[in-house]
Chain A
């Protein structure tokens, strides 16, 4: 599981997760992901390369969302595949964090 960060636009950072978000993957990503989220407000989490999300992955994303909220920022999830989307829907996450396809659409939410 690899975590990489780049500036998307302005102060909005894009965190790219590459790998399965299962028990092992979430554990491997935890430290870097949490650090990346905590740097400052406004992040886009790119799930395009995440072929599998288990509940531990949900836990990781929720923790990130709460950190962003405390920083006064917003988290947007980008490019989940169809099954990942279904998981976000089943757990009710998609009602609390915006989910978009494509970088342009995701950035549009940051005004």
Chain B
């Protein structure tokens, strides 16, 4: 039998695992595979598809995933094609042999099973796709699939093996002196009744007609039509198939025309050049009907015109459906994007509005947050507790995007709900953090957590009390002196473990002191070579600053990150908060010391 090909088109999604299994079972029934062969194929592709679905990076979700099957008599070759990150599943080393139950690795067995159960495998990465081909030698030869098209019963058929007696007299009065058809051709043309275009047409109407037309047998893959060709023939597929490619023959999507279908009828009808590539595979037979005969004689048969119109209208309908699906998908995407942009603006409005403390000359304070995605998990807040004390906090929820944003909102709300109270500031910061921890540990099935640095700054005594809960050490410059990391004391992160007692630190500040807080999106910013900006570089950047105005320092940090990262995409949320005390006598100007 000639090679048959089948194609399963799906998407990268968990549903594809079961869909693949079901499709393989259908293939098995169609071609008569043994139970054992089906099991092997089912198993191998259950593993490979699960691998793609479970380990593709998130950005590849819902992209197309295809499984091509090439069925021959004694073997079947299946190729899985996915557009995810480059990965050859079969070059992963198998898990080490375990000697005890404890040593046994829970996972990693799937790919070993694939290697064992297929007969050959090959991996290729081309044009941004992984292609993994598995070959199975079959225990029993495949049976040829049933021909899809059945002749309807009211068709006049040639029955029996009655040989024609020559000379014959035809309906139109002409005579046929001898049998014009060769044996294989006769058989091929006998199947013409199956052709879609000739459905319900009495064979007698076709018989005379088709003898006139040559049959082209394709022995090797051939491009029979290409765009721009002035086509003067309709090609009817008698056996095998034609693949119609819009862009490049042999590359990408194609439409299949099997036995009974035809191509070229459009350009013969409208006289326009051919618009696609038609590639015939080995073993295909094509009936070539020249334009004049097609238009005058073939189309003149009433049912033929009707069949042609239905075929064209069905093609149009399918094409419309395709377009509608694409448009719908795009609209959905747009809707989601719009919602995320809206969410971003809501999240931005949750953060304190600039300028902070415009009427308080004792403090110059600026903050800025830049989310890596539409929404993120970084936050900061600054507000007055009373006439001399302010509370500030900077925080970073683990992860990014929507889940982090949701946790961030909880944290902000919880912090703001706690009013300062009249406690000593040390107790207050410790209590605030402990309470935040308690609240975030609850209702936290997703086990999220955050790091935070919060503090109370007394603008009269210039004392700073602070709690560092797992967060990056901020940078502190006393007076006009150099910046240094304020590294102690350290406490655990917030939201995972209940009942933690947080320990506050205390620093006495001087006029013009600056405290600069940031999240790890700054120090862990990556360039194209995956180097990180790092704490040393951040320190150097701040010490090199020409002015210590809070706003300028914040801009400097963002500029440093941009300069370092270059065009590498922002991988994490970036937040900077700077607080600067006024000089002695409440002046805001900065006098550089010249040394330091």
Contact A62/B42 with A55-B113, A90-B112 known, Cβ cut-off 8 Å: no
Interface majority SS on B: helix, strand, loop or mixed? helix
Complexed CA–CA distance, A65 and B103 (Å): 11
**Could you tell me the distance in whole angstroms from the C-beta of B89 to the nearest C-beta in chain A?**
12
Rounded to whole Å, the gap between the CB of B237 and the closest CB of chain A is: 38
B43 touching A52, Cβ below 8 Å: yes
A58 CB contacts on chain B under 8 angstroms: 109-110
Q: Is the CB of B104 within 8 A of A55?
A: no
Q: How far is the CA of A93 from the CA of B101 in the complex (A)?
A: 9
- B-chain residues with CB within 8 Å of residue A53 when the two chains form the complex: 43
Contact of B43 with A54 in the complex, beta carbons under 8 Å: yes
Q: How far is the CA of A59 from the CA of B106 in the complex (A)?
A: 5
Q: Which of A24, A92, A96 contacts B17 (CB 8 A)?
A: A24
Known A23-B18, A54-B43, A59-B106; judge A96-B100 contact (CB<8 A). yes
Q: Contacts A22-B21, A23-B14; is A56 near B36 (CB within 8 Å)?
A: no
Among A69, A90, A93, chain B packs the most CB atoms within 10 A around the CB of A90
* Contact A65 to B101, CB < 8 A, known contacts A55-B47, A55-B113: yes
B417 within 8 A of partner (CB): no
Q: DSSP majority for the A interface?
A: helix
- Do B106 and A54 touch across chains, with their CB atoms under 8 A apart? no
Q: Give the chain A neighbours of B100 by CB distance below 8 A.
A: 96
B220 at the interface (CB under 8 A from A): no
Kindly provide the distance from the CB of B278 to the nearest chain A CB, expressed in whole angstroms.
40
Give the residue of A54, A83, A92 whose beta carbon is less than 8 angstroms from that of B98.
A92
Instruction: Report the separation of the CA atoms of residues A81 and B46 in the bound assembly, to the nearest whole angstrom.
Output: 19
Mask for A79-110, Cβ within 8 A of B = 1, else 0?
00001000100111100110000000000000
In the assembled complex, B564 has its CB within 8 A of some CB on chain A: no
Query: CA A66 – CA B106 in complex, angstroms?
Result: 9
- Contact check, A52 vs B47: say whether CB atoms are below 8 A apart: no
Query: How close is A66's CB to chain B, nearest CB, in angstroms?
Result: 6
Return the chain B residue nearest A90 by Cβ.
B116
Q: How far is the CB of A85 from chain B (nearest CB, A)?
A: 12
Closest Cβ–Cβ distance, residue B7 to chain A (whole Å): 22
Contact A91 B18 (CB under 8 A): no
> B111 — which chain A residues lie within 8 A by C-beta?
55
Interface flag for A63 (CB, 8 Å): yes
Are A54 and B110 in contact, with the CB atoms below 8 A?
Answer: yes
Nearest residue (CB) in A for B116 is: A90
Contact status A63-B106, CB under 8 Å: yes
Check B112 against A62 for contact (C-beta < 8 Å). no
Binding site for A on B (CB under 8 A): 14, 17-18, 21, 36, 39-40, 42-43, 46-47, 50, 97-98, 100-102, 104-113, 116-117
Q: Contacts A54-B43, A55-B108 known; list 15 others, CB within 8 Å.
A: A22-B46, A23-B46, A23-B50, A54-B113, A55-B47, A55-B107, A62-B104, A62-B106, A65-B101, A65-B104, A87-B43, A91-B109, A91-B112, A91-B113, A92-B98
- The 10 A-B pairs of least Cβ separation, nearest first, read A55-B110, A91-B109, A54-B46, A90-B116, A55-B109, A69-B101, A23-B17, A58-B109, A83-B39, A62-B106
Which of A's residues lie within 8 Å of B, judged by CB?
A: 22-24, 52-56, 58-59, 62-63, 65-66, 69, 83, 87, 90-93, 96-97
Listed A/B pairs (6) with beta-carbon separation below 8 Å: A23-B18, A55-B109, A63-B106, A69-B101, A87-B43, A87-B113
